[in-house]
Amino acid sequence: MTPRTAGRPQMLVEEFEQIARTVPETVRLEFINGKLEVKPVPDGDHDEITMWLLRQCIQQRPELNLYPERGLKIEKYRDGRARPDGSLAPEGTFSGQGEWAEPDGVLMTVEVTSYDADTNQRDRVEKRDGYAAAGIPVYLLIDRDDHSVTVHSDPEGGTYRSRTTRPYGAVVEIPEPVGIRLATEKLKDYAS
CA dihedral 107, 9, 29, 41 (to 10 degrees): -80
Supply the pLDDT for residue 1. Answer: 41
Q: Which amino acid is at 181?
A: R
Domain boundary assignment for the chain: 43-190
**In whole numbers, what is the pLDDT of the chain averaged over residues?**
86
Mean pLDDT of 22-36: 69
CA distance 91 to 95: 9
Q: Which amino acid is at 183?
A: A
pTM of the model: 0.80
CA distance 164 to 150: 6
Cβ neighbors of 45 (< 8 A, separation 6 or more) are 144, 190, 192
5 band by pLDDT with thresholds 50, 70 and 90? very low
Say whether pLDDT at 80 is over 60: yes
Say whether pLDDT at 31 is over 80: no
Topology classification of domain 43-190: tt1808, chain A (3.90.1570)
Half-sphere exposure of 82 (CA within 13 A, CB side): 28
Helix (H, G, I), strand (E, B), or coil: what is residue 102? coil
Say whether pLDDT at 3 is over 80: no
Which one has a higher pLDDT value, 122 or 50? 50
Per DSSP bridges, beta strands 35-39 and 28-32 are: antiparallel
Which one has a higher pLDDT value, 41 or 58? 58
Beta bridge partners of 87: 67, 109
Supply the pLDDT for residue 119. Answer: 61
At 127-186, the pLDDT tens digits run 898 999 999 999 999 999 899 999 999 999 989 999 999 999 999 999 999 999 999 999
Supply the pLDDT for residue 120. Answer: 58
